[in-house]
Structure 1
Amino acid sequence: MKKLMFVSLMLLGLASYGQTTVQGKVVDENNEPIPGANVLLVGKAEGTTTDFDGNFTFNTDEVPPFRLQFSSIGFSDFITNVTSNNQTLTITLSEANTMLDEIVISASRTPERIFESPVSVERFGLKEIKNTTAESFYGGLQNLKGVDINTNSLTFQSINTRGFATFANNRFLQLVDGMDNTAPGLNFVLGNLVGMSELDVQSVEILPGASSALYGAGAFNGILFMTSKNPFDFQGISAYAKGGVTTQDAAGSNFYKDFGVRAAHAFSDKVAVKANLSVLTGEDWHANSRVDLNNPGADRSNPAYDGLNVYGDEVSTTLDFDAAAGFPSGTVGSATISRTGYDEADLANYNAESVKADFAVHIRPFADDLEVILNSRIGRGTTIYQGANRYAVAGFTMQQHRLEIKNDNFFVRGYIVSENSGDAYDTRFAAINVNRAWKSDTQWFTDYAGAYIPTYLGGIQGAGLSPEEASAQAHIAGRQAADQGRLIPGTPAFESAFNTVINNGDLTTGAKFIDKTKFRHVNGNYNIAHLIDDWADIQIGGSFREYELNSQGTIFTDIDGPIKYNEYGAYLQVQKKFLDDRLKFTGSARYDKNEFFDGFLSPRVSFAYTLGEERNHNLRVSVQQGFRNPTTQDLFIGLNAGRAILVGSAPANLDRDVRTFEVSESGQALIGQSTVELVGRDAYENAYSTASLQAGAPEAVNTPLVQPEEITAFEAGYRGQVGKFTIDLSGYYNSYSNFLANTTTAVPFYGEAGDGGLSLLALQNGDFQVYQTYTNSEADINSYGATVGVDTKLGNFDLGVNYTFAELDIDEGRYPDLRTNFNTPKHKVKASFGNAALFKNFGFNVNYRWSDSYFWEASFADGDIPAYTVLDAQVNYSVPSIKSIFKLGGSNLLGDEYYTAIGTGFIGSIYYLSWTINP
C-alpha cells in the first residue's frame, strides 16, 4: 500500500495543470446535437466527448495555437484551429459513408482512429445502441462482424471471438471501466448479468484476438471494453422502460420487462456524481430435451435411459440377476439399469432476473483533467448456467469497488471483485440426492431386481413369452416396484426433501454451491509522450492481482480455509509514425509472472501503412505472442461432478483432495479392508487412461501438471474507402502450444497402475474411481479465419454486410481424445439495413444473421448444432420536446426456434416496446 501511495503521489506530481480551456457544441447538418462525439487534440493522447446536448469542455496544458479533431460514427472528421484560451466553438459535422474515422482506445491504450488501428477492432457506440434491434445493447453486439454470442439463458449471453468457447469462456476478457468483469470463482464473464446499464454505456469496443502484450493473461482470444458516461459530460436524469413477451414452444408466452434509471449531476467543475439502477425480469428459456445421447432413439422405456435434460438417471449399475437369485449364469441374464430421473422443469425455477446498480463520485480537484473516481457496482442475478452440469443460479451477486486517479497521460487504478453464489445449486445433484434421500441406491436396485426376476420367469414359463417380450415386461415391473412411493414433484414430501438438498453444500447428500471467492487488482499506465515532445507515443504500465478462493470445500479444496495466490506483470509500448505519417509502427512487450509458473514474455509488433492521395487506404500486419494462465479451477478445484471427480493440478492441490471409497466384496477378499483412501495426486501419478479402458487395453498414464497455454497470432488486414463503400477485412492465423486440456483417468483402489496384476483386478472388480485432470496437450493446434465487412449508403439508407470464416486445424486421428471446445461455425453471414431518419424523427433498422452448422463440444454434452437464420427488426420514433425515443422491435421474428449449444433451451422470440427518456 505504501508503494502504491508513493507511485500515485509521484504521478500526481508529474500531472500537468490545465492552462487552456476550449468549450463549445457539436451538431449535425440539421443543427441537432451529436452526443458522444470525440474531441481529440491532434498529435496527442488528449481528448474528451460531448454530452447528451452536444456540449463539451476541453482542458489542456497545450498553449495555442493547436488543432482539435472532431469525429463521430456516421460523420466525416472535422479539424479546426484553436487560437486562444477560453475559445468557444460551434462545430458542424457532415454525414459520411465511412465509420473508419471513429476514435478507439483499446487497441493501443491511446486514442487513435479505427482506420489506423494496428489490429482488428469493433466499436458499438451511442448511435448503435439507439438503432440496435436486439432487446438489449449487449445482445446487439452479436451483429458485429467476427463476434459470436452463445445464449445460455435469457439473462446470460456469452461473447466469443475466433473460436474455443463454452459458456465458461475463460479465453475472453471483459472490462467495465477498466475493471475485470470476470466472476472470480467461476473464472468467466456472466455476460451482462451483473454488468452495465445501457443508459450509462458510452461505448463498447471489442478486440477479436490475442491482446496479452498490453492486457496480460486474460486477454487471450479477445477482449471487450465497456466505457461508461462521465457525470461531468453526461448530466441529468435518464430512464427507460421496456415491456413485451417472450415466446417459446416449451414455455409458451410470458411477460418480459426491463426498466432502468440514471441520475448524474455536476455540483461544480470539481465534483460530480452519478447513480444507475436497472432491473430485468422474465421467463427463462426452458430446456426440455429428453434425447438420450448415449442411446440414440431410446426413450424412458429403455432400462438404461439417460435423458439430456433429465437428471438423476445418471445413477446406473449393471444388475446380474442370476447372481442375485443364485441361478446358473444365463438363466435370467443381466442388464444395465438407471434410476428414474426428474425433468429439469421439476428442479429449476425459470424465473430470470438481473438487477444492476452502481454509484460513482468523480472529483477534479483542480478543475482540469486530473480526476479521482470512487465507484461501486453490484449486480444480482437469477439464471441457468450450463457447465459440467446445469446450475440453477439464484440470487448470485457480484460486487466491484474501484478507486482510480487519472488524467490524460496516466491512470492508477485499484479495485476488488467479489462474488457470492447465493442460493445456487446443481440440478443434477439435486435430483440424485432427492432420490437417495427417499431411497438409497442399493435398496432401489435391490427392489428392481426383486420384481424383475419373478416377472421374467413367469413370462417365460407361464405365459410362453419370448425372452425379449418377457424382459420388456419385467423391466416395467421392476421399475414400478422400485419407484413405489417415489417422491412426486409438487407434493409436500418432494418439496421438503428438495429444499433440504439444495441447501446442503455436501454434494454426497446435497446440491448447493457455496462460493465467496474474490480477487484484488491494482494496475497503472503512464504515457510519457508529453515528456519527450511527442517524439513517440511511449507507454509503461503494470499490474498486480491476488486471488482469495473461498468455497468452504464445495468447489475448491479449501475445506481448511481460503486459498490465496498472486500474479503480476509489467509492459512497455512504443508507437511512432514515419514517412510523412503514412507508416505507423507499434511495438509492445509485457512480462507476467504467476506464483506457480515461470515468467512469460508477450511481445507484439505491428506495421500499418496508409496509401492513396487522399489517404483513404490502410494496410496492416501484426504478430504477437500471448499466454493464458490456468484458472483458479484448473489449479484448485476439488469437485465430485458425478461422472468424474475434478481435481486441479496446482502442486499444492494434489494432496488436498482426500476421499474415501468403499471396496467391493471381491476387492475386500484381496486386500482385507472395506474402504480405501485416494488423494488427488493419484489421478495424475497412479491411474489408467479411461480411453484405453474403453478400448479394452488398459494403459497406465502419468499426467503432467498444467502449465500456461501459449499462442502465436499473425494478422493482416485492410481498411479503406472505395467510392461509397467502406471496406474492412482481416485474416488471422493462430498457433497454440501447451493447449490447456482435460483428460479423464481411472485410479484403481488397490495395486499400482501398470503393475500387470493387482490393479487390473481392481479394474475388473469395478474398484476404481474416474477423475478429470487438468494438463496440456502435446497436439499441434492451429486455427485460422477471416472477416470482411462492407458498409455503404443507398441514398439515406444504411446497408452493411459482413462475412466470417473460422477453421480449426488439428490432427484428430493422432489425438482422438483431445477436446478443444472450438464450438464455432465455419461460415457466418450478417447484414443490416436501416435508416436513422427515414422521415422526421422516425427511423428503423433490420438485422439478419445466418450461422452454419457446427459441432458443440463441452463437459455437459456434445452434439451437432444445426444451421439457423435469425431476423431482428425495430422502428423508433423520437419526440424531441420530451427528449424521448419510442421503439417497437423484436428478435427472431421468423419464429424458428434455434439453439447455440447442446443442452440449453431453444431460443424463441422476443417482442418489446420501449420508451427511453434523455438517452
Structure 2
Amino acid sequence: MKTKITLLLTFILVSFSMHAQYKVSGVVKDETNQPIPGVSVVVEGTSTGTTTDFDGNYTIKVKKGNKVTFSSVGYTSITKEMDGSAVLNLTMAEGMALDEVVITGNRAKPRSVLDSPVPIDNISVKELKGSGKVQVEQMLSYTVPSFNSATQAISDATAHFDPADLRGLGPSRTLVLMNGKRMKQSSQIYLNGTPGKGEVGIDLKSFPNSAVKSIEVLRDGASAQYGSDAIAGVINIILKDDAEYSEINTHAGVTSQGDGFNMGIDYNGAVNVGEKGKLSLSLEYFKQNITNRAGNAQDTPGEAPDVADYGGNTDDPDYIRDTEFYNNVSAWMNENPDIGMIVGQPKLTKISGLANFTYPISEKSEFYTFHTITKRYGQSFAYYRSPFWRGDVQDAEFISKYEDFV
C-alpha cells in the first residue's frame, strides 16, 4: 500500500512539472530584418539554453516567469520574462561598444595598459633585471619596443651618456620624468655621427639602478600635455619609497673577447621616520673597462707605388720619394701595431646615491623630496686621423719623410 501511494505521488509531481513547462519558439533578426544566426538563448539561473540556426530560428523549453537572455557578439543583449506565450520574435540592435575580452595563456598581469588610447608599458624592476644588462638604458633597450640606446664609440664625451630616445625621434624629443617630475637635461651635446647629433638629452646613468621601483613608458606623443620635448613619448621612473628588507646586489662580467670587464654593487634599504615617514636610501658603485673592436692597424699605409704610374722611370724623384714614404711608414706601423684608434665602450667608474623621503600629511596630501648625487670618471676615445690614412698626404710636397707627421 505504501509503495502504491509513493508511485502515485511521484506520478502527480512529474505530471505537474511537465504541465508547468512549455515551448517557446521564434525568430531573431537585426534592425535590417535579416536573421541572426548563432544567437545565444539562455534561461537565467539554469543550464538550459540553445542557439539560433542559420535562419535565426530557435526553440527552448521554459516556465512561466523565467527570464531568458538573448545575446550575440556585436549586438545589445536582450532579457525577456516569459509570460506564457508560445511565440517570441525579437529584433536585436547593434551594440555601440563591445565588452573587453581578454584571453591569455597564463595568469600573469599584462605589462601594457590595454584600456588606454595610447600604449603605456609598466616595467617592473624584476623585468628590467631579467634583461641581463646592468645599466638602465640598456635594460630598457631589451624590454621596451621602440626604445633605442646604444654605447657610442669614438664619439668624444658622447660615449659616456649613451643617447636614448623613443621611436627614433631624437633624445631631445623624449621626455624623462622621475616620480612624475622632469629630469634636467645634461649639458653634453652629442657629437659626430651619433643619434641626436647636436642635441642634448637626459643622463640615465645619473642615479643608482637600485633606486628604481618600476618604469612607465608612454610610447606615443604627449606634447599637448608636456610640451615639444614629449613628441616621441614619455618615460617616468618610479623610485622605491619603502622596503620590507634591505637588499644588496652584485654583478660582474666580461665580453667573449676577454675585454670590457665590468663589476658593480648596489644597495637599497628603507627606514621609518617618525610615525608615518619613510626614507629610502640607494647606493651604487659601478666600474667598466674599455672594449676595442677596431682590430690592429694595417701593416701598410695603402698600396705600394707602381713604377708604371711614373712613366716606368725608377729614377723619378717622385717615385723615389713615395717608395721611401711607403717603406718607412710600413716599418713603423709594424713596430707599433697598437697605433690604430680604439673603437668600443669607454672606461667608466660611477659612484651614485639617492635618497627618497615621503611623509603623509593627510589622506590627500603628502610631503616628499628626493635627491641624487653622482660622481663619475670616464675615459673615452676620439675619432682621430693620422696623415698616412689619407691617400693624398703622401703626395704633399711639404712631407719628405714619415717622421714629419709622426
Counterpart residue identity of residue 254, structure 2: V
What are the equivalent positions in structure 2 for 1:371-382 lying under 5 Å apart? 371-382=366-377
- Cα distance in 2, alignment partners of residues 140 and 446 from structure 1: 47
Aligned twin of 2:352: 356
1:115 matched to 2:111? The reply is no
Aligned to 1:148: 148
Corresponding position: 1:300 with 2:301 = yes
Q: Which residue of 1 aligns with 2:185?
A: 182
Counterpart residue type for residue 237 of structure 1: S
Q: Contact between 2:176 and 2:202, CA under 8 Å: does it hold in 1?
A: no
Distance 1:133 1:216, change over 3 A: same
The structure 2 residue matched to 1:449, chosen from 397, 401, 404, is 397
Tell me what 1:173 maps to: 175
Q: Does 1:223 align with 2:259?
A: no
- SS of 1:128's partner is helix
Q: Is it true that 1:267 corresponds to 2:263 in the alignment? A: no
SS where residue 214 of structure 1 aligns?
A: helix
Query: Per-residue deviation at 1:229?
Result: 1.2
CA contact (8 A) 2:240 2:280 kept: no
Contact kept in structure 1, 2:266 and 2:283, CA below 8 Å: yes
Kindly name which structure, 1 or 2, has the bigger radius of gyration based on alpha carbons. Answer: 2
Kept after mapping to 2: 8 A contact 1:277/1:356: yes
Shift in Å at residue 219 of structure 1? 1.0
* 1:32-51 equivalences in 2 (<5 Å): none
- Deviation per residue, 1:416-470 (Å, 9 max, x gap): xxxxxxxxxx7357x88xx9xxxxxxxxx8997366xxxxxxxxxxxxxxxxxxx
Structure 2 CA distance for partners of 1:160 and 1:450, relative to 1, 3 Å: closer
CA contact (8 A) 1:353 1:383 kept: yes
Question: Aligned partners of 1:266 and 1:369: how far apart in 2?
Answer: 20
Shift of 1:258: 0.9
Matches of 2:351 and 2:177 in 1, distance apart? 19
CA distance in 2, matches of 1:259, 1:194: 16
CA distance in 2, matches of 1:358, 1:210: 30
Amino acid in structure 2 at the alignment position of 1:301: G
Deviations 1:212-240 (A, max 9, x none): 11111211222211110113xx3542211
Q: 1: distance between equivalents of 2:116 and 2:238?
A: 18
Quote how far apart the aligned CAs of 1:211 are. Answer: 1.4
Residue 170 of structure 1 aligns to a residue whose secondary structure is: helix
Matches within 5 A, 1:760-909: none
Compared CA separation, residues 115 and 344, structure 1 to 2 (3 A) = same
C-alpha spacing 1:162/1:448, structure 2 compared with 1 (3 Å): closer
- How do 1:67-82 and structure 2 match up within 5 A? none
Q: CA deviation at 1:372?
A: 1.8
- CA drift of 1:140 comes to 2.7
Give distance in 2, aligned partners of 1:222 and 1:171: 8
Structure 1 unmatched ranges of 5 or more: 1-75, 77-94, 103-113, 292-296, 304-329, 385-391, 393-425, 436-444, 452-477, 487-919
Task: State the partner residue of 1:281.
Answer: 287
Q: CA deviation at 1:120?
A: 1.6
Instruction: Provide the alpha-carbon RMSD of the alignment.
Output: 4.2
1:115-134 correspondence runs (5 A): 115-134=114-133
Are 2:224 and 1:204 equivalent residues in the alignment?
no
Question: Does the CA contact (< 8 Å) of 1:194 and 1:355 recur in 2?
Answer: no
Q: Distance in 1 between the 2:135 and 2:188 partners?
A: 27
How far residue 290 of structure 1 moved from its aligned partner, in angstroms, is: 7.8
1:459-470 aligned at under 5 Å gives the runs: none
| Residues 95-147 of structure 1: CA deviation (Å, up to 9, x unaligned) | 625506x7xxxxxxxxxxx1211212222113413533334554232233333
| Matched-pair contact (CA < 8 Å) for 1:183–1:189 | yes
2:220/2:233 contact within 8 Å kept:
yes
Letter in 2 for 1:449: E
Is the CA contact (8 Å cut-off) linking 2:268 and 2:280 kept in structure 1? yes
Q: Is the 8 A contact 2:137 2:164 kept in 1?
A: no
| Mapped partners of 2:251, 2:138: distance in 1 | 15
Counterpart secondary structure, 2:371: strand
Which protein is richer in helix relative to its size? 2
Would the alpha carbon gap of residues 136 and 193 (structure 1) be closer, same or farther in structure 2, given more than 3 Å must change? closer
Q: Which amino acid in structure 1 is aligned with residue 114 of structure 2?
A: F
After superposition, give the CA deviation of every residue in 1:523-553 in whole Å (9 maximum; x if it has no partner). xxxxxxxxxxxxxxxxxxxxxxxxxxxxxxx
- For residue 202 of structure 1, what is the amino acid of its counterpart? K
Distance 1:332 1:273 in 2: 76
Residue 22 of structure 2: aligned partner: none
Task: Give the whole-Å Cα distance in 2 for the aligned partners of 1:260 and 1:191.
Answer: 19
Residue deviations 1:634-681 (CA, integer Å, cap 9, x gap) = xxxxxxxxxxxxxxxxxxxxxxxxxxxxxxxxxxxxxxxxxxxxxxxx
**C-alpha separation in 2, matches of 1:217 and 1:383:** 32
Letter of the 1:183 counterpart:
S
Match of 2:166 in 1: 161
| AA in 1 matched with 2:224 | A
Distance change >3 Å, CA 447–CA 281, structure 1 → 2? same
For residues 240 and 206 of structure 2, what CA distance do their matches in structure 1 show? 18
**2:173 counterpart letter in structure 1:** R
Cα 1:382–1:172, aligned 2, differ >3 Å: closer, same or farther? Answer: farther
Go from structure 1 to structure 2 and tell me whether the alpha carbon gap of 1:300 and 1:119 turns closer, same or farther (over 3 Å shift).
Answer: same
Pair 286,163 (structure 1): closer, same or farther in 2 beyond 3 Å: same
Q: Is the aligned partner of 1:370 residue 2:381?
A: no
- Aligned identity (percent) is 14
Within the candidate set 254, 260, 285, 1:245 is matched to 254
Q: Is the CA contact 1:122–1:205 (under 8 Å) kept in the aligned structure 2? A: yes
| Aligned 8 A contact 2:270 2:280 in 1 | yes
Query: How has the CA–CA distance of structure 1 residues 120 and 260 changed in structure 2, closer, same or farther, with 3 Å as cutoff?
Result: same
Measured after TM superposition, the shift of residue 278 of structure 1 is: 0.5
Alpha-carbon offset, residue 204 of structure 1 = 0.8
The residue number in structure 2 matching 1:257 is 263
Given that 2:351 and 2:376 are in contact with CA atoms closer than 8 Å, whether structure 1 keeps it comes out as yes
Return closer, same or farther for 1:253/1:217 CA change in 2, 3 Å cut-off: same
**Residue number in structure 2 paired with 1:498:** none
Distance in 1, Cα, partners of 2:357 & 2:276: 11
Q: 1:271 to 1:302 in 2, by over 3 A?
A: farther
Question: What is the Cα deviation at residue 383 of structure 1?
Answer: 4.4
Question: Structure 2: any 5+ residue segments left out of the alignment?
Answer: 1-103, 154-158, 190-198, 305-315, 334-338, 388-392
Contact 2:352-2:375 within 8 A present in 1 as well: yes
Give the AA of the match of 1:182.
Q
Conserved 8 A contact 1:359-1:375: yes
Alpha-carbon distance in structure 2 between the residues aligned to 1:214 and 1:351: 39
Letter in 2 for 1:300: P
Distance 1:159 1:254, change over 3 A: closer
Is the CA contact 1:246–1:283 (under 8 Å) kept in the aligned structure 2? no
The CA distance in 2 between the partners of 1:449 and 1:138, in whole Å, is 50
Task: Find the aligned partners of 1:223 and 1:383 in 2 and give their Cα distance.
Answer: 28
| CA deviation string 1:760-812 (max 9, x = no partner) | xxxxxxxxxxxxxxxxxxxxxxxxxxxxxxxxxxxxxxxxxxxxxxxxxxxxx
Q: What CA deviation, in whole Å up to 9, does each residue of 1:551-577 have, x standing for no partner?
A: xxxxxxxxxxxxxxxxxxxxxxxxxxx
* CA drift at 1:254: 4.9
Kindly tell me: are residues 277 and 164 of structure 1, through their superposed partners in 2, closer, same or farther at Cα, counting changes over 3 Å? same
Aligned residues, how many?
256
Distance 2:132 2:347 in 1: 24
